[in-house]
Structure 1
């Protein structure tokens, strides 16, 4: 399935400003194609400013890095200051871009409360507790190996050291008399030489899309899989580019069973509905900028899609925009607009049939060297009716910083007859290219 991306038809701008709703429409020219993605030769209005085409193939996998440990990711929600009534251990969550959490609580005489925190092997942790007259104390034990790091009998209200294993650590606070307490946990990040592979997972299927290491893409999911063998860990969940909470993913030991068993994945709790979500175990804020949702009836984008489809042989297209998102992908002060449009009328009979004029597409409008360009990320269209056509419906799962470099990636889903795939696109200076993908057809 073709996924890379080409720069097509251009409009000169008078200055390098963000895309506004009133911008003029660029004229786009495409060779006529039949039910195929856009060819990889862009045509510009002025040959002197034409953007060179980029390769459509997936980039070569980065040099495989040794399996490493993944540190606890800082979720995007602060730690509660008062622990509620407890039915199980409370997970300690770090605020974004922090390495420490402080919990204030009150315990009755003889009462205990438990906390969980995940960390990687070799990370340096510090735990300390304070209370009036030092009546509160804590113990700490590894959940996976059962190794106690500090017992309640140890009267010292402080522990620090290098953690022996990548796992959850259980901290139990106890007091013999009623007392207020303050518990502080600090987990230092790993050094650059020990940076882990950060997995990127399709929440719906659990499939590993790949990962990143030191800001570089790891395109081989089996390399990422090996780095997850040490234990379960918390994943941040994002839907529509918005943080949804955390969930515990189990270590994938073998590829999944069934028709798509060759694709490695992360098992999540079976009762969890992670449809339209992306799961990340990362150590940075993955949604530093939020997209602005534009009205779907905005004339400029309605017209842009109509003209695009006309150049592809659909003379009188029925334009149906499903998503319009304006966002600054690179953080350079220039906005891009991501357009999703779908008109599929031939799917009602249970077969993968396409009627004439059916289509689904995702276009990105951005400024390149002062010129407004339209870049088709994914396009599947049918100027004529086709039986057994496998029409694809495209949706945006998120616009997120997946490798920690400050630039936002676009995560797209493509669904078709008995099949589905997810692709990650990265914005580069002159184009947008596919960097990670995973999928399955039954």
Structure 2
């Protein structure tokens, strides 16, 4: 049995004590937020994976646009800025469509200058796409390992000492209260099989009121053996950026298995499914 992408599950993950802005800061933030919301985007803003050249799609006036619905002329002559995974703003480039030998879901765009591929994300924002940076935490944290073990146990998976692959703290909403992203996996089978007790998860821990809940953006758990029918997938947090200009950060998640690689954008309004995505592979 495979359980995928459960969400909204209470958990006991501790977060850093909230820093609550004072009244003046909140008033200023409200003014800036209102100004940002009222500024219409005259044309769709493309979002492109800098490493593969895959077009995620775009955004206009806070609405996501799938890659297949993007006007081909949107990127013609437009300068896009490459943001590194840590939020560092890099150089701008004009992109052009290029053919590719890979089997990918979306169109591919590369810099006209011929610059080499680098990890990151191309955007054309009128706003700061990285207003807050993520902090990488130690994956040996015993509190988070114990909490992950409890979460897995509730789903029929016994792992008293899980190995965390990523542990990242970031204020996604800009409210002074941190969220924590955790990735982990145990994969002991072959490229197409898993053993009972294997798993691969990407969990987001956030505060709702004064209560911490865990949302599983991606969660594959295998309480039983799965032979020749289950290709284990590894999930990683790729980046956190404000892709639509609302002041909140979206999560970009990498999914990788033996057949290929893909990335997906998750927005805070709906964490149950990607807002935009691409995939390369069979």
DSSP 3-state at the match of 1:434: coil
Comparing both chains, which one has the higher relative contact order based on Cα–Cα distances under 8 Å and sequence gaps of 6 or more? 2
What TM-score results when the alignment is normalised by the length of structure 2?
A: 0.80
Matches of 2:243 and 2:122, distance apart in 1: 10
Determine if contact 2:83/2:121 at 8 Å carries over to the other structure. Answer: yes
* Residues 1:204 and 2:51 aligned together: yes
Matches of 1:355 and 1:225, distance apart in 2: 45
Matches within 5 A, 1:352-391: 352-388=192-228, 389-391=230-232
Match of 1:224 in 2: 70
* 1:393, distance to aligned residue in structure 2 (A): 0.3
Determine if contact 2:157/2:197 at 8 Å carries over to the other structure. Answer: yes
DSSP 3-state at the match of 2:88: strand
Matches of 1:261 and 1:291, distance apart in 2: 30
Match of 1:342 in 2: 185
Matches within 5 A, 1:309-324: 309-316=152-159, 318-324=161-167
Specify which of 267, 272, 290 is matched with residue 116 of structure 2: 272
Match of 1:176 in 2: none
Match of 1:399 in 2: 240
Match of 2:27 in 1: none
Q: Deviations over 1:328-371 (max 9, x none)?
A: 11111211111111222334xxx333233322211111111322
Q: Deviations over 1:5-54 (max 9, x none)?
A: 6211356x9xxxx8238xxxxxxxxxxxxxxxxxxxxxxxxxxxxxxxxx
* Residues 1:215 and 2:62 aligned together: yes
Pair 1:285–1:3, CA change in 2 (3 A) = farther
Larger Rg: 1
Q: Deviations over 1:92-115 (max 9, x none)?
A: xxxxxxxxxxxxxxxxxxxxxxxx
Q: Deviations over 1:204-225 (max 9, x none)?
A: 221111111122222x213335
Aligned residues: CA RMSD:
2.9
* 1:251, distance to aligned residue in structure 2 (A): 2.6
Matches of 1:339 and 1:215, distance apart in 2: 27
Matches of 1:434 and 1:331, distance apart in 2: 21
Pair 1:209–1:295, CA change in 2 (3 A) = same
Q: Deviations over 1:164-222 (max 9, x none)?
A: xxxxxxxxxxxxxxxxxxxxxxxxxxx9566221111122221111111122222x213
Determine if contact 2:6/2:219 at 8 Å carries over to the other structure. Answer: no
Matches of 1:405 and 1:201, distance apart in 2: 19
Query: Tell me, which stretches of 5 or more residues in structure 2 are unaligned?
Result: 18-37
* Residues 1:306 and 2:149 aligned together: yes
What TM-score results when the alignment is normalised by the length of structure 1?
A: 0.53
* 1:4, distance to aligned residue in structure 2 (A): 6.2
* 1:247, distance to aligned residue in structure 2 (A): 4.9
Higher helix share: 2
Determine if contact 1:400/1:409 at 8 Å carries over to the other structure. Answer: yes
DSSP 3-state at the match of 1:331: coil
Matches of 1:285 and 1:194, distance apart in 2: 15
Specify which of 256, 276, 290 is matched with residue 133 of structure 2: 290
Determine if contact 2:217/2:271 at 8 Å carries over to the other structure. Answer: no
Pair 1:193–1:433, CA change in 2 (3 A) = same
* 1:261, distance to aligned residue in structure 2 (A): 5.2
DSSP 3-state at the match of 1:301: helix
Matches of 2:63 and 2:4, distance apart in 1: 20
Match of 1:238 in 2: 84
Specify which of 384, 402, 416 is matched with residue 257 of structure 2: 416
